[in-house]
Amino acid sequence: MAKVAIIMGSKSDFSVVKPAIVVLKRFGVETEVRVISAHRTPEEAHHFAADAEKRGIETIICAAGKAAHLGGVIAAYTTLPVIGLPVKTDMMGGLDSLLSIVQMPSGIPVATVGVNGGENAGLLALQILSIRYPDIAVKLKEFKRQMAAKIAADDQALQEELKDLQ
Ligand code: RP5
């Protein structure tokens, strides 16, 4: 079974991380969810990243806010794909988190989703896994088909509403 690790810099990030866990579980992917801080527990971050591949983890989602170095630190110790999930902050609306995660130096990429983009982080992990797991690829295609059907239905409903406007 496919396995994704989801780590967050603080328990306070959990509400942002939750949609990633939900979508991964919906697709039948095993998750390992941890609080590990690049700054407050740097040694644990090192050990976690260095051992992740051996433990069967295939992709790592890292959620963090403010000076959000977790994804970068994890990516420094593994060749597994790392997805950064910037957390919205009170002071700067998450721009601080976003730039801290996305502006990695050459050689250590962190694939970054939008601020509070938990579901997209989960979906991106699924797309990475789908290269190896055909059942996930099939489910992703169905997911997209359902999204398209909803937009088409919304468009149809809008056309009906527009007919009633003066
Ligand atoms: C970051 O600092 C965490 O990822 C969190 O988003 C932010 C604030 O952490 P707390 O002070 O709420 O623990 O490391």
119 CA → ligand 1 middle, Å: 20
Contacts 24+ apart (CB under 8 A), 48-57: 48/5, 48/7, 48/74, 49/73, 49/74, 49/75, 49/76, 49/77, 49/78, 50/77, 50/78, 52/5, 52/78, 52/80, 53/78, 53/79, 53/80, 56/3, 57/3, 57/4, 57/5, 57/32
What's the rounded mean pLDDT across residues 43-56?
98
Q: Work out the pLDDT band at 107, boundaries 50, 70, 90.
A: very high
Q: Is the CB of 72 under 6 A from ligand 1?
A: no
Q: Work out the pLDDT band at 94, boundaries 50, 70, 90.
A: very high
Q: What is the mean pLDDT of the chain?
A: 97
For residues 108 and 75, give the distance between their C-alpha atoms in angstroms, rounded to a whole number: 6
111 CA → ligand 1 middle, Å: 20
What's the rounded mean pLDDT across residues 141-160?
98
pLDDT of residue 102: 98
pLDDT of residue 44: 98
Buried b (16+ CB within 10 A) or exposed e, 22-32: ebbeebebebe
2 pLDDT more than 90: no
1 pLDDT more than 90: no
129 pLDDT more than 80: yes
71 pLDDT more than 90: yes
